[in-house]
Amino acid sequence: MHMQSMNQKNNSGLILIDILLALALGAFFIACITYSSVNAEELFETARERDHALDLYDAHKGEFEDMMPYEFRNTVISPGESLSGRLSRLATTTIEAYAHWYGNDRIQTDIRIHADTKFMNRAGPIMFNAVRRYPFVDTMDSAGTPVCSVDFASKERTGSYGFQHPVVVPDPGIRFSEPSASLLVSIVPIMLPIDPSLPLTDMEVRNNIAYVSADSSIVTDPDLLVVDIRDVHDPGVLSSIHTGPGISAITLVGHRVYGAAASTAAQLHIIRFDALDVPVLEKKYQIPLPYATATPPMASSIFYDADKIYLGTEKWDGEELSVIDVTDTASMKRMGGVEVGSKVMDIFGRNKSVYLATAGEQQLMRLDSIESGDVAVADNFNPSGWERQEGKSISVFEDVLRFGRTAGGFNVKRDHELFVWATSTIHTGSVGSLKDSGYASSDIPGGIYGLVADRSYLYAASRATDKEFRIFSHSASASTSAAFLLPAAPQMLTCDGDKLYILAATAPMIYQVSFK
């Protein structure tokens, strides 16, 4: 009986524990269900409010579709505004938009939508961006301007990689998003199947087709070659043309190549391509002489923008920069020009401003009032060393102006070769003085013979031994740059898509630079 009584007490204790445990679990499950229900309701309400906010944006998006770079707009929508026959269920909703450059030919608009409600205050504003074509870039201009990546190495994000190469010095300013994030640089030589003695001068690349200009002393040699480089190990010449005395520089616009000709007979040559294998010398243009007995100049550089050709020449008695209206190639006319006083080495133009790299004392010049043809020198920059060095390369990417020059035969450390104006808003013409604006500069032995930039880095071609291709941070610091060996000295640097292309100066070679 005693044992039976003990067992009954033990069983009673176990049952009580089971009941308490069941009650605790029940309370826990009820709490979980209640929490989940509240959380689900909050998620539902947040999603519904955000969806409604996007509907409001869709109803007002026309107010933000014509924004220009650096413009800010906002729209405040009251709670009672109707939307598709029903009243807005949100509190006051604010849509803010800020436009800025995406590359050099597109506009990125950043959108922020916020509604003053309980759930959206917790979730935060809706943010996204839209990219559209810059409206003043016509179809021909877009086709002729290099359409390059805004970030060559990072297809999804910017500034999240370092370098992996035997001669690389990592940039301490880079912050890795993950330990494995890295940039692998691949440089592939493309041997052009042309006469090695042909002196190549300039290059444009579009969709794996290279347009290469030449200036030979042999009359029968071609001045322009079109090379298919889709197979980098077996490139093929699609066509070539002899236009006369030779071509110093080219720009590709749609199905035409405009060439700066090293000729006193005609300084502008226009080659039309009805097909890649059918080049036709469509037109030649001669710069008018300032007086009848003046010796005509030879063209040295060229740039196209909005139906205008900016043609630079060697130093002569007339104006070294001419602005030519090529809206109708059959009846081109000179709109105006400016006396530079030296050879024009490189040109970049956009809207009402044009930048020139020159071989003279004023090695970087900014011209204004281009559209009317009444060209005027608005600013200039003459760094020390101009007596030996020449302005060589200009790169403009979004808001930043970069300028490179040659080393002048021997290097003087105080006479820098690379300059960056990081605060320039050059597209709006509101840039301050080139001399007084804050800029960074670096001593680059070997000089700078080509510049291309993206949102993360600056890429340069140099003639320094074992450092012919270099990658700089935006600060242009030489001490934190990556350097790569090229067997041949570079002539120039350009881009197409997500690749860079370097034309060799001493061999019929193109180096294709890609990133992984």
Say how many Å lie between the first and final Cα of the chain, rounded. Answer: 85
pLDDT at residue 420, rounded to an integer: 92
* 165 and 254, same domain (yes or no): yes
Domain membership flag for residue 231? yes
Looking at the structure of the chain, the number of domains it has is 2
Amino acid at the residue 183: L
Residue 516 lies in a domain: no
Q: Give the residue from 92, 107, 135 where a domain finishes.
A: 135
Q: Are residues 299 and 332 in the same domain?
A: yes
Q: Please indicate, yes or no, if residue 362 is contained in any of the structural domains.
A: yes
Closest residue by Cα to residue 403 from 370, 434, 445, 429: 434
At residue 18, φ and ψ (nearest 5 deg) are -60, -40
pLDDT along the chain (516 residues), means of 10: 50 61 65 57 76 86 88 86 53 88 82 83 84 67 62 52 29 30 79 95 94 92 96 96 94 94 94 95 96 95 91 97 94 94 93 88 88 80 93 89 91 93 56 74 95 91 94 84 92 93 96 90
Regarding whether 81 and 168 lie in a shared domain, the answer is: no
Same domain, 177 and 86: no
Let me know whether 216 and 256 are in one domain. Answer: yes
Q: How far apart are CA 54 and CA 137, in angstroms?
A: 30
**Judgement on whether residues 146 and 107 belong to the same structural domain of the protein:** no
Give the CATH number for residue 422.
Answer: 2.130.10.10
CA 414 centroid distance within chain? 29
Provide the whole-model pTM.
0.79
Whether residue 327 is contained in a domain is answered as yes
Residues 112 and 234 in one domain: no
Question: Which of 105, 135, 165 is the last residue before a domain boundary?
Answer: 135
Domain boundary among 117, 135, 153: 135
Q: Which domain holds residue 94?
A: 2-135
CA distance 235 to 225: 12
Residue 432 lies in a domain: yes
Q: In what order do the strands lie in the sheet with 400-405?
A: 391-397, 400-405, 418-421, 440-442
Report d(CA 219, CA 201) in Å as an integer.
Answer: 16
CB 200 within 8 A of CB 499: no
22, 47: one domain? yes
Identify residue 283 by its one-letter amino acid code: K
Q: Does 370 fall in a domain?
A: yes
**How are beta strands 400-405 and 418-421 bridged, if at all?**
antiparallel
Domain assignment of residue 304, yes or no: yes
H or E element in which residue 18 lies = helix 2-60
Do the domain assignments include residue 404? yes
**Rg of the chain over CA atoms, in angstroms?**
31
CA pair distance 313, 356, nearest whole angstrom: 11
